[in-house]
């Protein structure tokens, strides 16, 4: 594939995505009108609530916003992406997108190896449970061994070491737990040829119920009316930017958001996964298994091993997502906690991003923004159900990608029938 | 077997005796305030005041339609918007996972007050601490260690007194002399209801026996029903449910076995007409309205406050304002005939409690002292 067609394909993908969003908005207008609202107002509200800065009212405000200075009364135009007064919504969105990026990567790694695993939910909650338990249990053990009764009085040196080791231990344990849980489904597929989709659905149910039991009974920390585990020790906390790195810089952009190191981990994970899948032999093996396991085996690729490896990596990524949600955001598991559902949303993100690694980095925040925008619809006194209908339509039209692309390609061919011999037929996208 | 029968008959006799004596003691005819035309006449709604410069947001813990405190809270917010003329935003969330983000989003709008309903204590504490310039109010949130923030108003609705009144009704209407309670969890917050109720039962019927059981869960109607059936099997004929959704199973068991139950939190009399005698209500709507009122009046202060029957935050579904008369209509005739006497006794007890002549045990205070 030449450089030029690569760029053309990328542009085409973006164009198709934008067209799908537009069509989704057009279709959901019917419902907005039935609900008695003005569609344009509703969509401005949806996108401003999802992605805008404070005071965002119109589509234009998403890009450039007029801000009135409170002291002088002067108004000036600012680039709204950098206008962080009172906390930018993107900071909240990126916080929500962090687990989605990881679970979408997890789904992509599995899908690329031909394993239709949707076990991200189960691996996510088990990873979260492992991190939540170790996050308070391990530091307590260390304090007990060191003979420290009050963690506040622990020597600084010990605290510094623990600040590095504890999050690493939580993330590591979550990776192992997630990988193992995912491996079960892979093993069942490879040895007994049990459908991965079915086994992961069942495994999800088991994991979610198990975590619910653990949070409600053995690990329940108090008689709070919503069951919860004990809060993790401060040394195990992946401190958010606005409290740690930029605590003294007083950057308002991050205000109210718990965006932190977890997001950086997610981006690094995306780069590593891309490198592994497209630049290493083992990654190549995994992608080859996808098309035809039998052909791959005849070509000398150990297909069972490649599939199991894909499942292990997939599970580890979901496990990390759960751990970050606990040690980076919530610091404990509350029954029915925020991350629950990230696993399944991750599958949706992976599908919407057409299993493209870098696509995920854009689709995950977009998805999180739409979800948040729909919830926050109510701050404009619009019903939240309306927001969910709009999201559903956008996803629906995005899933019609193949149809949309072919239509456009057909129109393109007709117009340029003289200037270019033929538009490239749609082939398997390579990231 | 034989013994139980005798005990049952003795109890029946005493309760009948008590009931007749209660009626006899009532010299003047009981006037039902709800049937009194002057009390039920719809007042002309006062022109809403204009306080559109005052704004509030209320975060509901789940979507509306729970037939309990969420609907009640939303109703209170709507009443505040209508009657006080303030700007209000009612935000429904889909569950625990959205509470934090919704509150943080509400903070960005800088309303005069953000009211949260049944949001987890640690979530609230973290946010209240992070935004010292924003005023908050929390309802239906239970803190283990007392907190004191200048920007957090926390009200607890104490329900021991209205439970006591419900207990009087149960004590007077019980035929078997055995009255039970089904709680969600064995916690001070739940025992607040049950202890008050049992005191009321014993005040109306000193020989009555009280039973207790705990479901261990607030969202398990199946287990709630089984425990209710077990208590009915032991001879109880009226059960007080304090078990959230699990309690719906108790009401169902009452309807199935032809026994009776007492509802809790919201007006549950109509869920199983004729089986639910009365409901001990928590007026979350009044609490929400009170929060908004305090901002309009400029009397908002942080801190913890307890409200109960005296402030109108707790009461019965029979009270003026709700005026549920479902049991009069659908209940057995002999019991319905006794209701005026029961109401007279309850009014008397209510006056005595408010005057301080009767002191109902507060299980929450006992637990913390």
pLDDT (tens, 9 = 90+) of chain B, 369 residues, equals 455 555 555 555 555 555 544 444 444 567 777 776 554 445 555 666 788 899 999 999 888 877 778 888 999 999 999 999 999 999 998 888 788 888 988 988 889 999 999 888 888 988 999 899 999 999 888 777 778 899 999 988 899 999 999 999 999 999 999 999 999 888 888 899 999 999 999 999 999 999 999 988 777 889 999 999 999 999 999 999 998 888 899 999 999 999 999 999 888 999 999 999 999 999 899 999 999 999 999 999 998 888 889 888 999 999 887 888 999 999 999 999 999 999 999 999 999 999 999 999 888 877 665
Q: Helices A156-192 & A196-216, crossing angle to 10 degrees?
A: 140
Given an 8 Å threshold on Cβ–Cβ distance, is B89 in contact with A222? no
Give the pLDDT of residue A339. 59
d(CA A384, CA A24): 17
Q: Burial-class residue B4 by CB neighbours within 10 Å (0-12, 13-18, 19+).
A: exposed
Domain, as residue range, for A361:
88-378
Report whether B271 contacts B243 (CB < 8 A).
no
Instruction: List CB contacts of B150: < 8 A, sequence separation 6 or more.
Output: B132, B301, B302, B303
Q: Does B147 share its domain with B170?
A: no
Task: Closest CB to B109: pick one of A231, A257, A379.
Answer: A379
Q: Which residue has the tokens 């729909």?
A: A374
Residues of B in contact with A372 (CB under 8 A): 101, 105
CATH number of the domain residue B264 falls in: 3.40.50.2300
d(CA A245, CA B219): 42
d(CA A124, CA A175): 10
Domain, as residue range, for B80:
55-157+284-307
Per-residue pLDDT tens digits for B194-208: 999 999 999 999 999
Q: Does B245 share its domain with B119?
A: no
Task: Closest CB to A226: pick one of B93, B110, B120.
Answer: B120
Asked whether residue B337 is assigned to any structural domain, the reply reads: yes
Domain count, chain A: 1
Report whether A133 contacts A331 (CB < 8 A).
no
Question: What burial letters (b/e) apply to A53-76, b meaning 16+ CB within 10 Å?
Answer: bbbbeeeebbeebebeeeeeeeee
Residue B59's H or E segment, with its range, is strand B55-60
Q: Does B272 share its domain with B288?
A: no
Given an 8 Å threshold on Cβ–Cβ distance, is A338 in contact with B90? no
Tokens of A241: 């930017």
Q: How far is B97 from chain A (nearest CA, A)?
A: 4
Q: Is A332 on the interface with B (CB under 8 A)?
A: yes
Asked whether residue A248 is assigned to any structural domain, the reply reads: yes
Asked whether residue B75 is assigned to any structural domain, the reply reads: yes
Q: Does B250 share its domain with B207?
A: yes
Minimum CA–CA partner of A92 in chain B: B101
Beta bridge partners of A64: A79
Overall pTM surpassing 0.95 (yes/no): no
Asked whether residue A54 is assigned to any structural domain, the reply reads: no
Question: What burial letters (b/e) apply to B325-352, b meaning 16+ CB within 10 Å?
Answer: bbbbeebeeebeebbbbbbbbbeebbee
Beta bridge partners of B209: B178
Asked whether residue B323 is assigned to any structural domain, the reply reads: no
Per-residue pLDDT tens digits for B270-318: 999 999 999 999 989 999 999 999 999 999 999 888 888 988 899 999 9
d(CA A374, CA B101): 12
Asked whether residue B322 is assigned to any structural domain, the reply reads: no
Chain B residues with CB-CB distance to A under 8 A? 57, 89-98, 100-102, 104-110, 118, 120-122, 130-131, 142, 144, 185, 187, 189, 218
Q: Is A340 on the interface with B (CB under 8 A)?
A: yes
Residue A264, pLDDT > 70, answer yes
Asked whether residue A23 is assigned to any structural domain, the reply reads: no
Nearest CA-CA partner of B231 in B257, B268, B205: B257
Nearest CA-CA partner of B221 in B186, B254, B266: B254
Eight-state DSSP code of residue A325 = I
Asked whether residue A200 is assigned to any structural domain, the reply reads: yes
Domain count, chain B: 2
Asked whether residue B149 is assigned to any structural domain, the reply reads: yes
Q: Does B91 share its domain with B146?
A: yes
Asked whether residue A1 is assigned to any structural domain, the reply reads: no
Q: Does B172 share its domain with B133?
A: no
d(CA B342, CA B346): 6
Asked whether residue A181 is assigned to any structural domain, the reply reads: yes
Minimum CA–CA partner of A225 in chain B: B142
Asked whether residue A349 is assigned to any structural domain, the reply reads: yes
Q: How far is A198 from chain B (nearest CA, A)?
A: 27
Asked whether residue A263 is assigned to any structural domain, the reply reads: yes
Instruction: List CB contacts of A189: < 8 A, sequence separation 6 or more.
Output: A115, A195, A196, A199, A307
Q: Does B217 share its domain with B94?
A: no
Report whether A395 contacts A72 (CB < 8 A).
no
CATH number of the domain residue A154 falls in: 1.10.3470
Q: Does B128 share its domain with B263?
A: no
**Virtual torsion, Cα B333, B319, B67, B262, nearest 10 deg:** -50
């Amino acid at each position: 594939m030449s450089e030029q067609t690569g760029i053309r394909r990328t542009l085409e993908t973006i164009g198709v995505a934008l067209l799908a969003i537009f069509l989704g908005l057009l279709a959901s207008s019917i419902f907005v009108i039935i609900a008695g609202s003005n569609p344009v107002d509703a969509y401005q509200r949806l996108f401003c609530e999802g992605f805008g800065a404070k005071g965002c009212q119109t589509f234009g405000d998403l890009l450039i916003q007029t801000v009135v200075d409170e002291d002088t009364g002067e108004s000036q135009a600012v680039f709204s992406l950098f206008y962080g007064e009172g906390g930018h919504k993107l900071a909240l969105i990126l916080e929500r997108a962090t687990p989605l990026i990881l679970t979408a990567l997890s789904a992509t790694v599995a899908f690329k190896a031909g394993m239709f695993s949707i076990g991200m939910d189960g691996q996510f909650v088990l990873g979260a449970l492992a991190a939540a338990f170790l996050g308070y249990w391990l530091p307590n053990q260390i304090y007990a061994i060191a003979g420290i009764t009050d963690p506040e009085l622990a020597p600084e040196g010990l605290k510094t070491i623990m600040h590095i080791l504890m999050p690493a231990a939580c993330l590591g344990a979550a990776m192992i737990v997630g990988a193992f849980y995912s491996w079960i489904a892979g093993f069942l597929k490879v040895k007994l040829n049990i459908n991965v989709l079915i086994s992961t659905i069942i495994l999800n149910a088991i994991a979610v119920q198990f975590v619910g039991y653990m949070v409600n009974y053995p690990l329940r920390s108090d008689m709070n009316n919503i069951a919860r585990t004990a809060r993790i020790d401060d040394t195990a906390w992946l401190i958010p930017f606005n409290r740690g790195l930029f605590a003294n810089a007083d950057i308002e952009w991050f205000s109210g958001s718990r965006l932190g190191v977890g997001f950086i981990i997610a981006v690094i994970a995306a780069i590593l996964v891309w490198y592994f899948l497209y630049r290493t032999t083992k990654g190549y093996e995994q992608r080859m298994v996808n098309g035809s396991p039998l052909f791959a085996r005849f070509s000398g690729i150990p297909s069972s091993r490649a599939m199991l490896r894909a499942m292990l990596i997939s599970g580890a990524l979901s496990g990390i997502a759960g751990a970050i949600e606990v040690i980076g955001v919530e610091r404990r598991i509350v029954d029915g906690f925020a991350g629950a559902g990230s696993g399944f949303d991750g599958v949706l993100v992976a599908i919407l991003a057409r299993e493209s690694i870098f696509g995920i980095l854009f689709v995950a925040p977009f998805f999180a923004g739409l979800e948040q925008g729909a919830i926050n619809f109510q701050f404009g006194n619009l019903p939240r159900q309306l927001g969910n209908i709009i999201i559903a339509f956008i996803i629906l039209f995005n899933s019609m990608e193949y149809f949309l692309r072919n239509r456009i390609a057909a129109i393109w061919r007709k117009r340029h029938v003289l200037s270019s011999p033929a538009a490239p037929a749609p082939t398997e996208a390579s990231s | 077997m034989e013994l139980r029968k005798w005990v049952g008959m003795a109890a029946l006799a005493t309760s009948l005796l008590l009931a007749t004596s209660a009626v006899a003691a009532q010299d003047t005819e009981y006037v039902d305030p709800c049937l009194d035309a002057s009390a039920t006449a719809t007042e002309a709604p006062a022109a809403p005041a204009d306080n559109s410069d005052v704004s509030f947001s209320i975060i509901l813990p789940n979507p509306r339609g729970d037939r309990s405190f969420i609907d009640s809270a939303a109703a209170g917010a709507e009443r505040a918007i209508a009657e006080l003329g303030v700007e209000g935003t009612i935000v429904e969330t889909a569950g625990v996972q959205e509470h934090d983000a919704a509150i943080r989003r509400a903070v960005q709008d800088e309303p005069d007050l953000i009211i949260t309903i049944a949001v987890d204590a640690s979530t609230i504490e973290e946010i209240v601490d992070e935004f010292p310039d924003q005023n908050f109010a929390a309802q239906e949130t239970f803190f283990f260690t007392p907190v004191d923030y200048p920007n957090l108003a926390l009200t607890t609705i104490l329900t021991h007194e209205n439970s006591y009144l419900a207990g009087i009704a149960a004590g007077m209407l019980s035929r078997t002399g055995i009255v039970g309670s089904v709680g969600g969890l064995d916690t001070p917050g739940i025992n607040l209801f049950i202890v008050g109720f049992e005191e009321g039962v014993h005040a109306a019927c000193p020989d009555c026996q009280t039973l207790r059981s705990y479901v261990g869960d607030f969202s398990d109607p199946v287990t709630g029903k089984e425990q209710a059936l077990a208590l009915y099997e032991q001879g109880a004929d009226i059960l007080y449910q304090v078990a959230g959704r699990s309690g719906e199973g108790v009401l169902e068991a009452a309807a199935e076995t032809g026994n009776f139950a007492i509802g809790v939190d919201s007006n549950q009399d109509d869920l199983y007409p004729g089986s639910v005698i009365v409901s001990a209500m928590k007026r979350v709507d009044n609490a929400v309205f009170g929060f908004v009122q305090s901002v309009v009046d400029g009397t908002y202060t942080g801190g913890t406050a307890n409200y109960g029957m005296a402030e109108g935050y707790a009461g019965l579904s029979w009270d003026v304002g709700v005026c549920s008369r479902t049991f009069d209509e659908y209940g057995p005739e002999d019991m319905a005939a006794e209701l005026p006497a029961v109401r007279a006794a309850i009014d008397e007890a209510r006056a005595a409690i408010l005057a301080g002549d009767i002191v109902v045990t507060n299980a929450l205070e006992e637990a913390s002292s």
